[in-house]
A and B are shown apart, each in its own frame.
Chain A
Amino acid sequence: MMETSDPPIVKLPQKRFYRQRAHSNPISDHNFNYPSHPKELYKDKCPDNKTWDELYPSRGDRKVEFADVGCGYGGFLVSLGETFEDKLSIGMEIRVKVSDYVMDRIESLRALHPGKYQNIACIRTNSMKYLVNYFEKGQLSKMFFLYPDPHFKKSKHKWRIINPSLLSEYAYVLREGGLLYVVTDVEDLYKWMTSHFDAHQSFKRLSLEEEKQDILHDKLLNRSEEAQKVERNHGSKFLAIFKRI
């Protein structure tokens, strides 16, 4: 039963109010609020930012362990939270409206299912620049990069969210043995990314067998909005999982 002080009807947010141009430039400075050090979000208050306790009302002394980077409309994030109920997952999204949609979505889910969905949250940020403002060395055990923007032009390869510079940063926030998941529907991008992982000494790809056995395997391929779009267009999907060594 819903409490009477709550708004009488809670509806999931409607996506049509939150649509936004697909690509934003991750290199330019838009107005972002971010902590100047990860420890700031563990305080009682952090000016201009929500603290971890504000984002996860029943956090206790847990820290975020899973990050869905470029989470889009959050379909996979929701599923991730359902799969790992005792782990905290964060969605990071650069687009204002899209991240706002995810925040509203989580709020409605929490209202519709009291006590549930307490373990997921979304922040608007440019993860390519501010990841280490949020996470300490070795804090994360899983990172997800699902259907990242391809940035086809060669001169824009630096904008790719998986690139050799950033792989070192991902290796820094991931603990040893942690996993990094990549899925794309663009074969060239898949080749480009996997070649950079191969060249990077902090990552080792799992075997196909191990990849198939991952509990998230199927969800990676069909839970996010982008995955469903690819599905509708009968596109192919390429998946790879790397271990932080």
Chain B
Amino acid sequence: MESFKNFLIFSPDYQKLIAFVSTEDQTQNFTIEVDWNYPINNIKPKLFLENQENADNDDEGKKQNGSEEKISLNNIAVTEENNLLAYTATDKTLFLWQIDEKSAKIVSRRSFLRTSSCIRFSKCGKILFLTDKTGDVFEYLCDEENFNTRGRWIFGHISQILDLAVTIDLKYLITSDRDEKIRVTNYPKVHEINSYCMGHKEFVSAIAIISDSHLISISGDKCIKLWNFIDGKELQSHSFQFVPVLLKVISHSHQTGLLCVSSIENTVYIFKYLIIDDTMTLDTLAEKQFKSDVELAVLNNEFYIEYIRDNDDSLKSGIFIDRVKIEDKTVNFQKIFDNIALSETDISIKIVKPFDVSLLFKHGRMFDNVKEYNDRKKARIENKMKSKKAK
């Protein structure tokens, strides 16, 4: 879920429809249909910088041809300034729409190489960064002259990238991956790594920049960490009782703000944070358990939570949205939207997480070939000793 002016934007079925829900006036809501016949710009970005062809037969492509699996939407991003909405699709195309308060029209549909994991716009909205599951990062220009220009590879991790953040001044791109790493890359000199923020012990599911030098990260190791990302220094670490998955931040100043964190069990937590002298204190304001997966968004300094619930007045389930109303220290979850007035259309609503967190854990669930080898070596040496003794 993303936000634009007074609208929350999401796809209720990740396929046919994109919904624009007003947080102020429900009569302004509208939906658009995804035009899957829109022509694809088939010129793919090149992996690496070279003049060589791309590895043509990538196995993911093969899978799709063989099965009846339907193409669906995947990652979403919206610009803050120049009215663009982007969605990646599982057919490895990147849709770009120009949006206003009443409608949206597709302006391009460009190809990319591997299943996307995250897309983000620069603050100015002129550049979109796309990360993929094999760890590469591509840049797609999104100013009007370049709506249809092909993507460009800019750098890569050797691990699935889970999140990307761009500093407001566009000096750094920050990427987090499954191998516990957070990488801070200079921009536009993307061949230069400024720093690494090392210290997590499991995948880093989400990151958020909260000031010129501070970054917050959450990880499968249950920790939330505060970093000075310029010098890659860990300033603080807090342990949660749960595995955090999604993270949204509202900064009120360089020192204070609010965090919204969802857990692997779909509980949503609201925290107030305060940073003094590089130490962060977290104050839990509220928590609420949801029965379905959730999506989070920020709009006009408020958090919104999208979830699925059985409708009170019919047996159909619908998409619901809560606004997190925070006054002083009291927090209310106000339902601002239920169902999508789409009950007539035959869409199957769902909420898809950006990745399946349970598959990302590494420790304690991998094949231990070292132990196997050491056991055999020990046995070999013991046997030798025995046979020596026997002699």
Q: Contact residues of A with B, CB < 8 Å?
A: 17, 26-27, 29-31, 36-38, 96-97, 100, 124, 128-130, 132-133, 137, 153-158, 163-169, 171-172, 195-196, 199-202
Residues of A within 8 A of B193 (CB): 168-169, 171-172
Are A37 and B199 in contact, with the CB atoms below 8 A?
Answer: yes
Q: Could you tell me the distance in whole angstroms from the C-beta of B167 to the nearest C-beta in chain A? A: 19
A-B contacts, CB under 8 A, total: 99
A-binding segment of B53-61, B83-91, B349-357: B53-61
Interface centre among A38, A168, A202 (most CB of B within 10 A): A168
Q: Which residue of A lies closest to B136 (CB)?
A: A165
Q: Could you tell me the distance in whole angstroms from the C-beta of B130 to the nearest C-beta in chain A? A: 15
Provide the main secondary structure of the chain B interface: loop
Residues of B within 8 A of A172 (CB): 193, 196
**Contact A163/B367 with A36-B200, A100-B373, A128-B158 known, Cβ cut-off 8 Å:** no
Please tell me if B134 contacts chain A, counting CB pairs below 8 Å. Answer: yes
Q: Could you tell me the distance in whole angstroms from the C-beta of A154 to the nearest C-beta in chain B? A: 5
**B348-372, CB under 8 A of A: which get 1 and which 0?**
0000000000000010001111110
Please tell me if B390 contacts chain A, counting CB pairs below 8 Å. Answer: no
Q: Which residue of A lies closest to B135 (CB)?
A: A165
Are B192 and A202 in contact, with the CB atoms below 8 A?
Answer: yes
**Contact A36/B199 with A31-B369, A157-B55, A164-B156 known, Cβ cut-off 8 Å:** yes
Are A30 and B158 in contact, with the CB atoms below 8 A?
Answer: no
Are B181 and A132 in contact, with the CB atoms below 8 A?
Answer: yes
Q: Could you tell me the distance in whole angstroms from the C-beta of B292 to the nearest C-beta in chain A? A: 30
**Contact A124/B191 with A38-B198, A129-B158, A155-B55 known, Cβ cut-off 8 Å:** no
Please tell me if B179 contacts chain A, counting CB pairs below 8 Å. Answer: yes
Are B48 and A26 in contact, with the CB atoms below 8 A?
Answer: no
Bound Cα distance from A196 to B49, whole angstroms: 8
Q: Could you tell me the distance in whole angstroms from the C-beta of B198 to the nearest C-beta in chain A? A: 4
Bound Cα distance from A164 to B59, whole angstroms: 22
How many B residues, CB 8 Å from partner?
46
Are B191 and A96 in contact, with the CB atoms below 8 A?
Answer: no
Residues of A within 8 A of B54 (CB): 154
Provide the main secondary structure of the chain A interface: helix
Are A137 and B195 in contact, with the CB atoms below 8 A?
Answer: yes
Instruction: Give 22 pairs: A residue, B residue, CB < 8 Å, sorted on A.
Output: A17-B380, A27-B158, A31-B368, A31-B370, A36-B198, A96-B370, A96-B373, A130-B179, A158-B55, A158-B156, A163-B48, A164-B156, A165-B158, A166-B158, A167-B191, A168-B191, A171-B191, A172-B193, A196-B48, A196-B49, A200-B191, A201-B191
**B188-222, CB under 8 A of A: which get 1 and which 0?**
01011101101111000000000000000000000
Q: Could you tell me the distance in whole angstroms from the C-beta of B64 to the nearest C-beta in chain A? A: 16
Bound Cα distance from A166 to B52, whole angstroms: 18
Bound Cα distance from A80 to B52, whole angstroms: 36
Are A155 and B367 in contact, with the CB atoms below 8 A?
Answer: no
Residues of B within 8 A of A26 (CB): 158
Q: Contact residues of B with A, CB < 8 Å?
A: 47-50, 52-59, 134-136, 155-159, 179-181, 185, 189, 191-193, 195-196, 198-201, 232, 234, 362, 366-371, 373, 377, 380
Q: Could you tell me the distance in whole angstroms from the C-beta of B14 to the nearest C-beta in chain A? A: 28
The listed residue (B58, B155, B195, B232) touching A165 by CB distance below 8 A is B155
The listed residue (B180, B232, B234, B369) touching A30 by CB distance below 8 A is B369
Bound Cα distance from A163 to B191, whole angstroms: 12
Are A31 and B191 in contact, with the CB atoms below 8 A?
Answer: no
Q: Which residue of B lies closest to A157 (CB)?
A: B55
Q: Which residue of A lies closest to B195 (CB)?
A: A137
Q: Could you tell me the distance in whole angstroms from the C-beta of B119 to the nearest C-beta in chain A? A: 19
Residues of A within 8 A of B157 (CB): 165
Are A29 and B158 in contact, with the CB atoms below 8 A?
Answer: no
Q: Could you tell me the distance in whole angstroms from the C-beta of B376 to the nearest C-beta in chain A? A: 10
Residues of A within 8 A of B199 (CB): 36-37
The listed residue (A29, A97, A199) touching B366 by CB distance below 8 A is A29
Q: Could you tell me the distance in whole angstroms from the C-beta of A27 to the nearest C-beta in chain B? A: 7
Are B196 and A132 in contact, with the CB atoms below 8 A?
Answer: yes
Are B57 and A155 in contact, with the CB atoms below 8 A?
Answer: yes
Q: Could you tell me the distance in whole angstroms from the C-beta of A82 to the nearest C-beta in chain B? A: 28
The listed residue (B179, B232, B366) touching A129 by CB distance below 8 A is B179
Residues of A within 8 A of B49 (CB): 164, 196, 199
Bound Cα distance from A155 to B56, whole angstroms: 7
**Contact A29/B362 with A36-B180, A157-B55, A168-B191 known, Cβ cut-off 8 Å:** yes
Residues of A within 8 A of B50 (CB): 195-196, 199
Q: Could you tell me the distance in whole angstroms from the C-beta of A169 to the nearest C-beta in chain B? A: 7
Bound Cα distance from A152 to B96, whole angstroms: 37
The listed residue (A37, A154, A156, A202) touching B191 by CB distance below 8 A is A202
Residues of B within 8 A of A157 (CB): 47-48, 55
Interface centre among A31, A37, A132, A154 (most CB of B within 10 A): A31
Are A164 and B48 in contact, with the CB atoms below 8 A?
Answer: yes
Residues of B within 8 A of A154 (CB): 52-56
Q: Could you tell me the distance in whole angstroms from the C-beta of A36 to the nearest C-beta in chain B? A: 5
Are B198 and A37 in contact, with the CB atoms below 8 A?
Answer: yes
Are B134 and A158 in contact, with the CB atoms below 8 A?
Answer: yes
Q: Which residue of B lies closest to A156 (CB)?
A: B55
Residues of B within 8 A of A168 (CB): 155, 185, 191-193
Bound Cα distance from A130 to B54, whole angstroms: 26
Q: Could you tell me the distance in whole angstroms from the C-beta of B390 to the nearest C-beta in chain A? A: 19
Q: Which residue of B lies closest to A172 (CB)?
A: B193
Q: Which residue of A lies closest to B364 (CB)?
A: A31
